[in-house]
Amino acid sequence: MMKQLSLLPLLLLFSLLTGNSSACTNADSKVISTEGTDVILPCSPSTRENLQYKLFDWKKVGQGGETQHEVFLYASGVQYDGIKAGQSEQFKGRVSHFEDELKHGNASIIIKKTKVIDSGNYTCDFPRLQPSEKFCIELIVDPILTS
């Protein structure tokens, strides 16, 4: 009994630390692509509600989970895929959503002409849904091997 109680603060600390250090503790989906091809990163809120007038935000988790790079932001019919919205230069002009899929609760995006440096963890965030939801998608872009 005493032993179990003394473990509790440690467990709390551990969960705080792991929660902070990375935006992704486990990937909801894993997608594998090859350099130069287009890839779809899947994401849907569990409610599958119509997203046409909602907000969703895609970010890429930086090395060590410290930084977040803006990938794509959709807000009530406006898509902010420009530097103005803080979109990372790496994704400029390469990312789009699927307009016809929004009403089916599909917030997937396509990244065109993937590069090896696109590999990593992405978060798909619905900050204003009740309750809010956030998913993690891991992308692996394999290099084309030339001999």
Ligand X SMILES: *[C@@H]1O[C@H](CO)[C@@H](O)[C@H](O)[C@H]1NC(C)=O
Strand-pair category, 109-111 with 55-61: unpaired
Binders of ligand X among residues 68 to 107 (CB under 6 A) are: 98, 101, 106
**Pair 31, 137: CB distance under 8 Å:** yes
Task: Return the range that interacts with ligand X (CB under 6 A); candidates 5-13, 37-45, 51-59, 122-130.
Answer: 37-45
Neighbouring residues of 63: CB distance < 8 A, sequence distance ≥ 6: none
Distance of alpha carbon 2 from alpha carbon 78, whole angstroms: 56
Asked whether position 26 contacts ligand X by CB under 6 A, the answer is yes
Q: Which residue in 41, 73, 138, 141 binds ligand X (CB under 6 A)?
A: 138
Q: Could you say whether residue 108 binds ligand X (CB under 6 A)?
A: yes
- Among the listed ranges 6-14, 39-47, 85-93, 123-131, the one in contact with ligand X (CB under 6 A) is 39-47
In whole angstroms, give the CA distance from residue 41 to residue 69.
16
Residues that bind ligand X (CB under 6 A): 24, 26-27, 40, 42, 44, 98, 101, 106, 108, 120-121, 138
